[in-house]
Amino acid sequence: MLSIIFAILFVILAVVFLFGKGDMLIAGYNTASEEDRQKVNIRRLRLLMAIISLLAAVYCIVPIFIAADSRFRSWASYVFIAFIVIMLILANTWAKRK
């Protein structure tokens, strides 16, 4: 039940990012100076944050529908961590203004 609530919250957060709101929820962007904010393509960063939020929602929901197999949970955790690392790399490269 708790994982469903978290999944719903992550989906709501993703929708907020997709509608162009929620910049104050992005860690580091809210506290950055105006000069540093000019270096970031905020649309791309919002898109990446929405994708991360949706991946987190899926990560919360999938184990409910799959048997509690510890191998699956380990595999899902590794895949989730890999996606997060890829998204962080993209946030620091693709979402920067050139």
In a domain, 29, yes or no: yes
The pTM assigned to this predicted structure is 0.85
In a domain, 98, yes or no: no
Which domain does 65 fall in, by range? 2-93
Could you tell me which of 59, 83, 55, 84 has the C-alpha nearest to residue 72? 59
How many structural domains are present in the chain? 1
CA distance 91 to 42: 10
- Give residue-wise pLDDT tens across range 22-77: 888 988 888 899 999 999 999 999 999 999 999 999 988 887 777 666 677 778 88
In a domain, 8, yes or no: yes
Residue 48 has a CB neighbour count (10 Å cut-off) of 19
Q: Exposure pattern of 12-46 as b/e (b: 16+ CB <10 Å)?
A: ebbebbbeeebbeebeebeeeeeeeeeebeeeebb
In a domain, 28, yes or no: yes
For the segment 81-93, the average pLDDT, to the nearest whole number, is 92
